[in-house]
Amino acid sequence: MSWEEMVLETKPCWCGKGTITYRMEMDDWNRTQNSREINCPACLEKENSEKARKQREEKRKAIHEKAKDLAAQRHLEYWLSLYSGLNKKAAWQLYTSGKDYPSLGTFYKHTKDEGLQNYMRRFFLSDFEDALKKMNIIDLEIKELLNERERI
Ligand SMILES: [Zn+2]
């Protein structure tokens, strides 16, 4: 199997002080691969720092997911139990302390559409940090994960 160069094109780089060479290659099965070579120190550094930023972002996301899984395993059941058996107004009062978003009307609408349990589950999963805060739960392992994420 061999790659054959189909396109080789050199264009000015993003800042205009150097060039970027774009290469497109094709193999015997018409599969293509693209690569580029940045011939400009400034643009190369920008590209590398962007890559590093993306990697950091991915790591942060992975840690956040891990913390969320832990939170769900340990605290979701308790969270749901707080709301089970409450009527919607009492649930809203507990959820918002009667002041925050969402309004009572919005809360009614959401819980009517998807059911109180589903809504509370969704809320927990979309912002477990806030849910833990509302329950006054301090989970040291989760806290450590979130701190770790901040340090990345
Ligand atoms: Zn450049």
C-alpha 18 – ligand 1 centre gap (Å): 5
Across the chain, mean pLDDT equals 93
Render pLDDT for 58-69 as a digit per residue (tens, 0 to 9): 999 999 999 999
C-alpha 53 – ligand 1 centre gap (Å): 19
C-alpha 12 – ligand 1 centre gap (Å): 8
C-alpha 40 – ligand 1 centre gap (Å): 5
How far is CA 95 from each of CA 71, 78, 80, 100, rounded to the nearest angstrom? 18, 14, 11, 9
With a CB cutoff of 8 Å and minimum separation 6, the contacts of 89 are: 104
pLDDT for residue 98 is more than 80: no
Please indicate, yes or no, whether the overall pTM of this predicted structure exceeds 0.75. Answer: no
Q: Are 67 and 145 in contact (CB under 8 A)?
A: yes
C-alpha 15 – ligand 1 centre gap (Å): 4
C-alpha 124 – ligand 1 centre gap (Å): 46
Looking at residue 101, its pLDDT comes to 77
pLDDT for residue 21 is more than 90: yes
Alpha-carbon gap, residue 79 to 66, rounded angstroms: 19
Query: Taking residues 82-104, what's their average pLDDT?
Result: 87
Looking at residue 113, its pLDDT comes to 85
C-alpha 38 – ligand 1 centre gap (Å): 8
Of 72-81, 99-108, 114-123, the poorest mean pLDDT is in 99-108
C-alpha 4 – ligand 1 centre gap (Å): 28
Alpha-carbon gap, residue 151 to 18, rounded angstroms: 35
Alpha helices in 20-103 (DSSP H): 41-83, 88-96
C-alpha 100 – ligand 1 centre gap (Å): 49
Looking at residue 100, its pLDDT comes to 67
Alpha-carbon gap, residue 41 to 96, rounded angstroms: 53
Is residue 123 within a helix (H) or strand (E), and if so which, with residue range?
Answer: helix 116-126
Output the six-digit token pair for 28: 């015997």
Q: What percent of the chain stands above pLDDT 90?
A: 82
